[in-house]
Protein backbone atom coordinates (compact mmCIF):
# COMPACT_ATOMS: atom_id res chain seq x y z
CA UNK A 1 0.00 0.00 0.00
CA UNK A 2 2.83 2.38 0.88
CA UNK A 3 4.52 1.68 -2.46
CA UNK A 4 1.34 2.52 -4.42
CA UNK A 5 1.02 5.79 -2.50
CA UNK A 6 4.65 6.72 -3.32
CA UNK A 7 4.11 5.94 -7.01
CA UNK A 8 0.90 8.00 -7.04
CA UNK A 9 2.66 10.99 -5.43
CA UNK A 10 5.53 10.69 -7.93
CA UNK A 11 3.13 10.63 -10.88
CA UNK A 12 1.24 13.65 -9.54
CA UNK A 13 4.46 15.65 -9.05
CA UNK A 14 5.55 14.73 -12.59
CA UNK A 15 2.19 15.78 -14.07
CA UNK A 16 2.27 19.12 -12.24
CA UNK A 17 5.83 19.75 -13.47
CA UNK A 18 4.93 18.91 -17.08
CA UNK A 19 1.81 21.09 -16.87
CA UNK A 20 3.86 24.04 -15.60
CA UNK A 21 6.31 23.63 -18.47
CA UNK A 22 3.59 23.52 -21.15
CA UNK A 23 1.70 26.47 -19.71
CA UNK A 24 4.87 28.54 -19.76
CA UNK A 25 5.17 28.90 -15.97
CA UNK A 26 8.53 27.13 -16.06
CA UNK A 27 10.96 27.79 -18.91
CA UNK A 28 13.77 25.34 -19.55
CA UNK A 29 15.89 27.43 -21.90
CA UNK A 30 19.61 26.82 -21.79
CA UNK A 31 22.28 29.49 -21.61
CA UNK A 32 22.34 32.83 -19.89
CA UNK A 33 18.68 33.58 -19.21
CA UNK A 34 19.20 37.31 -18.72
CA UNK A 35 21.05 37.57 -22.03
CA UNK A 36 18.28 35.70 -23.86
CA UNK A 37 15.60 37.98 -22.40
CA UNK A 38 17.56 41.12 -23.28
CA UNK A 39 18.05 39.89 -26.85
CA UNK A 40 14.28 39.32 -27.09
CA UNK A 41 13.73 42.87 -25.81
CA UNK A 42 16.08 44.26 -28.48
CA UNK A 43 14.27 42.31 -31.22
CA UNK A 44 10.92 43.61 -29.97
CA UNK A 45 12.15 47.22 -29.96
CA UNK A 46 13.18 46.89 -33.60
CA UNK A 47 9.88 45.38 -34.76
CA UNK A 48 6.83 47.33 -35.87
CA UNK A 49 3.37 45.80 -35.62
CA UNK A 50 0.13 47.22 -36.92
CA UNK A 51 -2.98 45.22 -37.70
CA UNK A 52 -5.97 43.22 -36.55
CA UNK A 53 -5.51 40.02 -34.54
CA UNK A 54 -6.64 36.93 -36.40
CA UNK A 55 -5.36 34.39 -33.89
CA UNK A 56 -3.32 34.41 -30.66
CA UNK A 57 -2.00 31.05 -29.46
CA UNK A 58 0.91 28.97 -28.22
CA UNK A 59 2.55 27.22 -31.15
CA UNK A 60 3.18 23.68 -29.89
CA UNK A 61 5.17 22.85 -33.03
CA UNK A 62 7.52 25.78 -32.33
CA UNK A 63 8.61 25.18 -28.70
CA UNK A 64 5.27 26.37 -27.29
CA UNK A 65 6.05 29.93 -28.46
CA UNK A 66 3.53 32.70 -27.86
CA UNK A 67 2.41 33.55 -31.39
CA UNK A 68 0.13 36.23 -32.80
CA UNK A 69 -1.23 36.10 -36.34
CA UNK A 70 -2.60 39.39 -37.61
CA UNK A 71 -3.73 41.07 -40.81
CA UNK A 72 -1.88 44.19 -41.86
CA UNK A 73 -2.79 46.08 -45.02
CA UNK A 74 -4.43 42.98 -46.51
CA UNK A 75 -1.51 40.64 -45.74
CA UNK A 76 -1.37 37.90 -43.13
CA UNK A 77 1.59 38.29 -40.77
CA UNK A 78 2.89 36.45 -37.74
CA UNK A 79 4.95 37.69 -34.82
CA UNK A 80 6.79 35.89 -32.04
CA UNK A 81 7.95 38.98 -30.12
CA UNK A 82 5.62 38.18 -27.23
CA UNK A 83 7.20 34.76 -26.60
CA UNK A 84 9.49 35.86 -23.74
CA UNK A 85 7.37 38.85 -22.75
CA UNK A 86 6.19 38.54 -19.13
CA UNK A 87 3.48 41.17 -18.54
CA UNK A 88 0.68 38.95 -19.90
CA UNK A 89 -0.23 40.95 -23.00
CA UNK A 90 -0.37 37.77 -25.10
CA UNK A 91 -3.05 36.24 -22.88
CA UNK A 92 -5.25 39.34 -23.29
CA UNK A 93 -5.33 39.35 -27.10
CA UNK A 94 -8.49 38.10 -28.78
CA UNK A 95 -9.59 37.83 -32.38
CA UNK A 96 -10.61 41.21 -33.77
CA UNK A 97 -8.38 43.33 -31.50
CA UNK A 98 -6.41 46.04 -33.27
CA UNK A 99 -2.79 46.14 -32.19
CA UNK A 100 -0.02 48.66 -32.74
CA UNK A 101 3.60 48.55 -31.62
CA UNK A 102 5.72 51.34 -33.07
CA UNK A 103 9.30 50.57 -34.06
CA UNK A 104 11.91 51.84 -31.63
CA UNK A 105 9.87 51.50 -28.44
CA UNK A 106 8.23 48.99 -26.13
CA UNK A 107 4.80 50.64 -26.05
CA UNK A 108 2.06 48.31 -27.22
CA UNK A 109 -1.41 49.64 -28.00
CA UNK A 110 -4.43 47.37 -27.76
CA UNK A 111 -7.67 48.67 -29.26
CA UNK A 112 -10.88 46.80 -28.47
CA UNK A 113 -14.45 48.05 -28.85
CA UNK A 114 -13.18 51.59 -29.51
CA UNK A 115 -11.16 51.69 -26.28
CA UNK A 116 -7.39 52.10 -26.52
CA UNK A 117 -5.09 50.72 -23.85
CA UNK A 118 -1.43 51.63 -23.77
CA UNK A 119 0.62 48.72 -22.43
CA UNK A 120 4.36 48.31 -21.95
CA UNK A 121 6.17 45.19 -23.12
CA UNK A 122 8.24 43.69 -20.31
CA UNK A 123 10.99 41.13 -20.93
CA UNK A 124 12.38 41.02 -17.38
CA UNK A 125 15.67 42.41 -18.71
CA UNK A 126 17.72 44.54 -16.33
CA UNK A 127 19.75 46.20 -19.08
CA UNK A 128 18.57 49.66 -20.27
* CA proximity to 72, closest of 44, 92, 101: 101
Q: Could you report the per-residue pLDDT of 85-94, keeping only the tens digit for each? A: 999 999 999 9
How confident is the model at residue 15, as a pLDDT? 83
Q: How many CA atoms lie within 13 A of 54 on its CB side?
A: 13
Mean pLDDT of all residues in the chain? 88
Regions in the chain scoring below 70 on pLDDT: 24-31, 128
Q: Is the pTM of this model over 0.75?
A: no
**Dist. CA 56–CA 90, nearest whole Å:** 7
**Dist. CA 102–CA 124, nearest whole Å:** 20
Amino acid sequence: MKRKFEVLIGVLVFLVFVTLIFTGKIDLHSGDWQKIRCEAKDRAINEEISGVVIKSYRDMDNHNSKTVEFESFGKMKKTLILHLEVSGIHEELVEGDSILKPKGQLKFFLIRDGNTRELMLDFDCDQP
